[in-house]
């Protein structure tokens, strides 16, 4: 079969990429280790890889790291879910209703210019030093991105689908549920991914400024205790969480969109 060498070539390329990546990380680790052995910088501000790994292991062993990650994820999960629940329908309505887009839509565009952490002072005044304040910041950070991405997606749905809908009897809520939502699914995916990134960054910013449980606070605590290995361990944990959600959640969604819609 002529297709086989092509597929085999792709698989080999994938493996070569993976091996290269591992070797690169290894080299980076060795460079790091040798720099810290050379003693150019004080160990207090430039810890050795071993110390960071020990700090990671300790954190996992005594459960403090998973607990912090868990607290952050719960917070993020709630705030992000609310953003999705509001943002997706809102984006679909804005994409369809001109008047709403001219009013609420332009407000959303304006609000998106404001970095979400700027909402923290207001949130603390309104909700006190509470979970609600943090969630408010997450929502304000991700809601506009989700809404506006879905809106833009809805506006570019092919006219053919919109014309096919009413003659197939998809009118009223059925139009939104069975045509508009699936037709805009690729942009819902993009919006969800973008929203997740914004939500995650907003949360980290909020946790750094406002001491509570959570992985961002672990990072801050490390600074206060001058525990550099803990700081770097927390940073690594944050990177790993980001990569896992990107690879496992969004990559799967994007592959699905690509297969079915042939785009994305």
Partner 1 sequence: MAVVELKKVAKVFASQAGRLTVLVDIDLEVADGEFLCVVGPSGCGKSTLLNLIAGFERPSSGEIVVNGQPVTGPSPSRFVIFQEPALFPWLNVYQNVVFGLRMAGVDPSEQQDKAHALLKAVHLSKFAQAWVTEISGGMKQRVAIARALAMDPDILLMDEPFAALDAQTRDMLHEVLEEVYQQTSKTIVFVTHNVREAVRLGSRVILMSGQEGRIIEQFPVHLPRNRYLEDVEVVTIASRIRDKLRQEVLRSSGEEGEHAG
Query: Nearest approach, Cβ of 106 to partner 1 (angstroms)?
Result: 24
Query: In this chain, which stretch among 36-44, 78-86, 176-184, 205-213 interacts with partner 1, using CB under 8 A?
Result: 176-184
Specify the residue, 71 or 157, whose C-beta has the smaller distance to partner 1: 157
Specify the residue, 186 or 229, whose C-beta has the smaller distance to partner 1: 186
Query: Nearest approach, Cβ of 88 to partner 1 (angstroms)?
Result: 16
Q: How many residues bind partner 1 (CB under 8 A)?
A: 20
Specify the residue, 21 or 174, whose C-beta has the smaller distance to partner 1: 174
Q: Residue 220: which of 183, 209, 176 has the closest Cα?
A: 209
Q: Examine residue 3 and tell whether it contacts partner 1 (CB under 8 A).
A: no
Q: Examine residue 178 and tell whether it contacts partner 1 (CB under 8 A).
A: yes
Contacts of 127-135 with C-beta under 8 Å, sequence gap 24+, read 129/210, 131/75, 133/206, 133/210, 134/75, 134/79, 134/203, 134/206, 134/207, 134/210, 134/212, 135/75, 135/78, 135/79, 135/82
Specify the residue, 39 or 169, whose C-beta has the smaller distance to partner 1: 169
- Which 211-230 positions form the footprint of partner 1 (CB under 8 A)? none
Q: Examine residue 252 and tell whether it contacts partner 1 (CB under 8 A).
A: no
| Site string (150-169) toward partner 1, x via CB under 8 A | --------x-xx-xx-xxxx
User: Are 134 and 202 contacting, i.e. CB atoms less than 8 angstroms apart?
Assistant: no
Query: In this chain, which stretch among 142-150, 177-185, 218-226, 237-245 interacts with partner 1, using CB under 8 A?
Result: 177-185
- DSSP H helices in the chain: 3-38, 49-61, 64-96, 98-100, 106-112, 120-127, 131-155, 159-167, 173-175, 181-183, 185-209, 215-224, 228-244, 251-261
How far apart, in whole angstroms, are the C-alpha atoms of residue 77 and residue 80? 5
Query: Nearest approach, Cβ of 249 to partner 1 (angstroms)?
Result: 20
């Amino acid at each position: 079969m002529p297709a086989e060498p092509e597929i085999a070539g792709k698989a080999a390329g994938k493996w070569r990429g993976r091996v290269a990546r591992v070797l690169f990380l290894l080299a980076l680790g060795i460079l790091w280790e040798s720099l810290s052995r050379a003693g150019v910088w004080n160990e207090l501000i430039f810890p050795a890889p071993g110390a960071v790994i020990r700090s990671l292991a300790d954190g996992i062993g005594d459960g403090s790291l998973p607990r912090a990650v868990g607290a952050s994820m719960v917070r993020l999960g709630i705030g992000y879910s609310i953003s999705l629940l509001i943002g997706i329908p809102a984006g679909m309505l804005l994409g369809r209703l001109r008047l709403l887009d001219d009013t609420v839509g332009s407000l959303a565009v304006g609000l998106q210019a404001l970095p979400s952490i700027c909402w923290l002072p207001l949130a603390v005044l309104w909700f006190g030093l509470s979970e609600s304040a943090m969630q408010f910041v997450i929502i304000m950070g991700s809601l506009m991105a989700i809404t506006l991405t879905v809106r833009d997606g809805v506006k570019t749905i092919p006219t053919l689908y919109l014309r096919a809908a009413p003659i197939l009897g998809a009118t009223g809520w059925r139009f939104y549920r069975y045509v508009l939502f699936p037709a805009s699914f690729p942009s819902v995916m993009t919006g969800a991914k973008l929203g997740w990134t914004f939500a995650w960054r907003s949360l980290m910013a909020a946790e750094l400024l406002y001491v509570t449980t959570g992985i961002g606070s672990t990072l801050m605590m490390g600074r206060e205790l001058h525990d550099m290995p803990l700081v770097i361990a927390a940073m690594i944990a944050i990177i790993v969480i980001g990569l896992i959600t990107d690879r496992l959640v969004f990559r799967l969604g994007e592959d699905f969109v690509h297969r079915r819609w042939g785009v994305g």
